[in-house]
Amino acid sequence: MSIKCAPIADGTTLLTLTFLLTDTPPALERGQSRSYSFRWGAKIEKHLNPMAGEFTHDGPRCIQILSLFSEHASAKDRNLGPQWIGGCYHEDRWGLAMELTLTEATR
């Protein structure tokens, strides 16, 4: 998952989440669905402790970002595009990580 935040022409900011898959999955048959989970937790600066993740000492920040996604990154029409859910969960490697699960489905 790649996250980018950049200003746009009208003076607002555009938040872009890009979900990358390493393999191309087979096409879904009618009525099928498939879910993908992505975790955000590691710090990307190479000099930082790899065992202390982005949200390890700031759980409210994880919840605040998740709330921002919920408010601004949800489809207004549930029939359009994939659906997603997310949460902030404790884990062994980074301490606290945000997990987003996207589900695509055929109608």
Q: Model pTM greater than 0.75?
A: no
pLDDT single digits (tens) 41-89: 876 666 566 666 888 888 899 999 888 888 777 666 666 667 888 999 9
Q: Residue 44: exposed, middle, or buried by beta-carbon count in 10 A (0-12, 13-18, 19+)?
A: exposed
**How many of the other CB atoms lie within 10 Å of CB of 66?**
18
Q: Which residue has the higher pLDDT, 1 or 63?
A: 63
Q: Which residue has the higher pLDDT, 100 or 15?
A: 100
Mean pLDDT of all residues belonging to the chain: 82
pLDDT value at residue 71: 79
pLDDT value at residue 95: 83
